[in-house]
Amino acid sequence: MRLQIEKVVYGGAGLAHQAEAGKAVFVPFTLPGEIVEAELSVEKDAYGGAELVRVIEASSDRVAPGCVHFGACGGCQLQHAEYSAQMRMKAGILRESLERVGLVELPEVQSHGDAFWGYRNRIRLRIAEMDGALRLGYNRRGSNEFLPIQECPIAAPLLWRAASALLKLAETDKGAERWLRGAVEIEFFSNGDETKLQMTLFVRGALSADLKGLCERLRVVVPELVGAGVSILAKESALRSRRTERPAAGASWGAEGLLYRAAGADYWVSRGGFFQVNRFLIDTMVRLVTEGREGRLAWDLYAGVGLFSKALAKAFERVVGVEGSETAAADLAGTLKGPRTQAICASTVDFLRHTVIQRERPEVVVMDPPRAGLGADVCELLVRLKAAELVYVSCDPVTLARDLKVLVDGGYALVELHLVDMFPQTFHQETVVVLRRGA
């Protein structure tokens, strides 16, 4: 079918409408204004999905992808778009997501970007054997099928260099080969300047092999390696969702984490612990969330290792960081050691239920929830709390819009809206929203 692309939607596909039926059709790897030929691949009552056959009239924003695996790999969706066009499309998606729930009085979207290649400080790769050789890769687009890769340009160069070195080592080293054949995935995490590296091997069931020997031999060619560990996954399914997986700790070598320098401070991040993934924009994120805010008390909810808590502690008499993950909460406690700070291991909803009935009220509440957002219970408790200012960091515009509608209906006004492009070349986006009570 011949289609004209109207816009790009959340998820990265271009939206068009069939001329005859007026049905919406979503076509990946297309850009607004383009005329394309596409082949229908999915047909539902209300919409269809199609695969791009060829571009008949290309957008001036179309560029050659920067990775040989683009299109086959499930990791990136927007490499065919010039970077400023990616930013414009994401800003439009953010605004439309908010308007769709009835938030029409919106501040201007302020966009923040930086280097758009080599930005990831963490990658997690699958391990498989193909044609008699061990390979590392990701999932093929839209499936769980293994895709072997030979490069990943959005990853910090150290990460792919380490992955390649490990594969090379396994060609001649029986110990390395044993580990890779026994593992299903491997993760590499580096600090911002690529001087320190952590490695995690994910295995199904216990694996008896010499981790120390593997790491010492790998460190000869990757001297940045400071620590490694084994995570033992459940045996029942190799395709179990990472979000529901609760691995057990196995053998370890070297440091249990690494010191990450960001926004003028040092943060201890345990192996496997969460930290913002874009090494070039972390400082910008901290500045947007904390700069110019001061007072008696601030809360940092979903605090992680304390990225925002530590910056807030410079300007507030007291800062409370709240984190539900035991691993991250332990790192948070190490970050918030001063007499004016407190680290609490608890879910945000439990913390708010307990504190909302207390007299103590923070001037500022910072929130950086996972993709699922705050949810109705947390939003309603925040409305009851009546803090003067809320700063909401979101990685999903749909759940963000849902939550903001509750907060605005509860008496808050949106006063700042920042798009921070933490995930260039992909459809993912990060947003910082500032809300003030009665503004």
Catalytically active residues, by annotation: 395
CA pair distance 399, 84, nearest whole angstrom: 25
Q: Contact, 296 vs 360, CB < 8 A? A: no
Length of the chain: 439
Alpha helix stretches (DSSP H) within 141-292: 157-172, 174-182, 211-221, 282-290
The angle at the Cα of 17, spanning 431 to 25, to the nearest 5 degrees, equals 65
Is beta strand 14-17 parallel, antiparallel or unpaired with respect to 109-112?
unpaired
Burial status of residue 419 (CB atoms within 10 A of its CB: 0-12, 13-18, 19 or more): buried
φ/ψ (deg, to 5) at 214 = -60, -50
Q: Contact, 234 vs 240, CB < 8 A? A: yes
Is beta strand 35-43 parallel, antiparallel or unpaired with respect to 109-112?
unpaired
Q: Contact, 245 vs 232, CB < 8 A? A: no
With CA atoms as reference, report the closest residue to 117 among 65, 152, 153: 153
Q: Can you tell me which residue has the tokens 């006063």?
A: 415
Q: Which amino acid is at 249?
A: A
Burial status of residue 15 (CB atoms within 10 A of its CB: 0-12, 13-18, 19 or more): middle
Q: Contact, 294 vs 302, CB < 8 A? A: no
Q: Which amino acid is at 433?
A: V
With CA atoms as reference, report the closest residue to 364 among 433, 285, 298: 298
With CA atoms as reference, report the closest residue to 379 among 402, 398, 361: 402
CA pair distance 324, 227, nearest whole angstrom: 25
Residue 69: DSSP 8-state? T
CA pair distance 309, 349, nearest whole angstrom: 19
Residue 83 token pair: 């970077």
